[in-house]
């Protein structure tokens, strides 16, 4: 199958790109992935219980928001394929790619697919620690984004915990002080890796307690499928002391892993594996390949910023494809003037006349 534009990924960035590309009559094909990164199609928002900071919705379930985006993409004309792209070749155009058989991440289908342009929107996955109770209370007290979830009612005026020792942990901890009764920051080592200024802000904040040489062991809470987190068992890894502290929320700030292994060695990435884009654009180092969303954004990582870069990627892909079409037209015109055997028979001055349209022939 050959497509003018292929979108890999189905989060806010991918679907926004699909909506814009469809409205531009690019007939995009989206590969939404079959449990790519171990997450359902729709990305990280499908694991988020309630979203309160996406414009247009006072409050909406993360999975519902992604269902709405998917429906809009299809309504606009996007072809959505529920399979995972397993290999790409960006060394020449048209770009080549292969997909995994449904539910099989070890093998590739033999068929080679091609695309004139590509939007990478494969996202990133928050690192987890695998604590006891983590899966049970994920979305019901456990999160990897304080800015996304910290304002939810279940966290307001409650004791909260942040795990991490870098600048992200400091920023998340300070953000949560606006909502929480108390914020406990667990730092595995005996020092903060954050900048001195950030570390000082955290240590001096009256609502914050920093516990060094400490780590989480278990998350506890209400029983039942919708039970909420109530406490956390922690351990001092220097003294061996184990204790249970009240905690209605736990926020991981231990980093994210961008889903870029598929493109390693083919587009430029930074030291953490995020795809590099030209500042102010969604353009990668490969002409015709664009990146949007968390796959290229290690700073904001918000649904709305992902959607914004998805829009940018689609508009830039449309412009790039038009430029390629103009170049092809110029080459064809040159062939016509030369009387080449491969000329398509179009007369340039007639074809470029908007009143006569594309059907005008010699």
3-class SS string, the chain: CEEEEEEECCCHHHHHHHHHHHHCCCCCEEECCCCHHHCCCCHHHHHCCEECCCCCCCCEEHHHHHHHHHHHHHHHCCEEECCCEEEEECCCCCEEEEECCCCCCCCCCCCCEEEEEEEECCCEEECCCCCECHHHHECCCEECCHHHHCCCHHHCCCEEEEECCCHHHHHHHHHHCCCCCEEEEEECCCCCCCCHHHHHHHHHCCCEEEEECEEEEEEEECCCCCCCEEEEEEEECCCCCEEEEECCEEEECCCEEECCHHHCCCCCECCCCCECCCCCCCECCCCCEEECHHHCCCCCCCHHHHHHHHHHHHHHHHHHHHHHHHHHHHHHHHHHHHCCCCCCCCCHHHHCCCCCCCCCCC
Q: How many other CB atoms sit within 10 Å of the CB of residue 253?
A: 22
Question: Looking at the structure, do residues 28 and 110 belong to the same domain, yes or no?
Answer: yes
Judge whether 25 counts as a catalytic residue.
no
Q: Residue 344 falls within a domain, yes or no?
A: no
Q: Residue 153 falls within a domain, yes or no?
A: yes
Question: Looking at the structure, do residues 208 and 167 belong to the same domain, yes or no?
Answer: yes
Q: Residue 11 falls within a domain, yes or no?
A: yes
Catalytic member of 49, 105, 149, 335: 149
Domain at 189, CATH number: 3.50.50.60
Question: Looking at the structure, do residues 29 and 76 belong to the same domain, yes or no?
Answer: yes
Judge whether 76 counts as a catalytic residue.
no
State yes or no: cis peptide before 94, omega within 30 of 0: yes
Q: Residue 273 falls within a domain, yes or no?
A: yes
Question: Looking at the structure, do residues 304 and 318 belong to the same domain, yes or no?
Answer: yes
Pair 160, 249: CB distance under 8 Å: yes
**pLDDT tens for residues 264-294?**
999 999 999 999 999 999 999 999 999 999 9
Pairwise CA distance, residues 324 & 9, whole Å:
24
Question: Looking at the structure, do residues 87 and 179 belong to the same domain, yes or no?
Answer: no
Q: Residue 157 falls within a domain, yes or no?
A: yes
Catalytic member of 67, 89, 106, 148: 148
Write down which residue in 231, 252, 273 finishes a domain.
252
Catalytic member of 145, 311, 333, 346: 145
Burial class (CB in 10 A: 0-12, 13-18, 19+), 205: middle
274-292 as b/e, with b when 16 or more CB fall inside 10 Å?
Answer: bbebeeeebbbebebbbbb
Q: Provide the number of structural domains found in the chain.
A: 2
Question: Looking at the structure, do residues 216 and 318 belong to the same domain, yes or no?
Answer: no
Q: Residue 358 falls within a domain, yes or no?
A: no
Spans of the chain below 50 pLDDT: 340-362
Range of the domain at 88: 2-126+256-326
Report the alpha-carbon angle 174-176-182, nearest 5. Answer: 95
């Amino acid at each position: 199958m050959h497509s003018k534009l292929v979108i890999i990924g189905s989060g806010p960035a991918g679907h926004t790109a699909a909506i814009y590309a469809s409205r531009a009559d690019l007939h995009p094909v989206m590969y939404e992935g079959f449990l790519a990164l171990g997450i359902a199609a729709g990305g990280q928002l499908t694991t988020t219980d309630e979203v309160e900071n996406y414009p247009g919705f006072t409050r909406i379930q993360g999975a519902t928001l992604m269902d709405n985006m998917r429906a809009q993409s299809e309504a606009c004309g996007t072809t959505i394929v529920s399979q995972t792209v397993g290999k790409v070749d960006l060394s020449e155009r048209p770009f080549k790619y292969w997909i995994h058989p449904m539910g099989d991440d070890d093998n590739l289908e033999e068929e080679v697919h091609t695309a004139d342009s590509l939007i990478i929107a494969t996202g990133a996955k928050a690192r987890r620690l695998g604590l006891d109770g983590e899966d049970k209370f994920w979305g019901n007290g456990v999160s990897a984004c304080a800015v996304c979830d910290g304002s939810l009612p279940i966290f307001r005026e409650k004791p909260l915990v942040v795990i991490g020792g870098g600048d992200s942990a400091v920023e998340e901890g300070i953000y949560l002080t606006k909502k929480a009764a108390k914020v406990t920051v667990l730092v595995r080592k005996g020092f903060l890796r954050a900048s001195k200024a950030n570390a000082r802000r955290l240590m001096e904040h009256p609502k914050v307690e920093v516990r060094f040489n400490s780590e989480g062991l278990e998350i506890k809470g209400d029983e039942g499928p919708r039970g909420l987190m109530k406490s956390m068992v922690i351990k001092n890894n220097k003294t061996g002391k184990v204790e249970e502290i009240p905690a209605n929320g736990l926020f991981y700030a231990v980093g994210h892993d961008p889903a870029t292994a598929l493109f390693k060695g083919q587009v430029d990435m930074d030291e953490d594996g995020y795809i590099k884009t030209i500042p102010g654009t969604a353009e990668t180092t490969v002409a015709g390949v664009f990146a949007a969303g968390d796959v290229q954004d290690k700073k904001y990582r918000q649904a709305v910023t992902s959607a914004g870069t998805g829009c940018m990627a689609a508009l830039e892909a449309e412009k790039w494809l038009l430029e390629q079409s103009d170049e092809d037209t110029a080459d064809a015109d040159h062939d016509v003037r030369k009387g080449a055997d491969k000329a398509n028979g179009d007369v340039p001055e007639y074809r470029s006349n908007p009143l006569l349209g594309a059907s005008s022939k010699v």
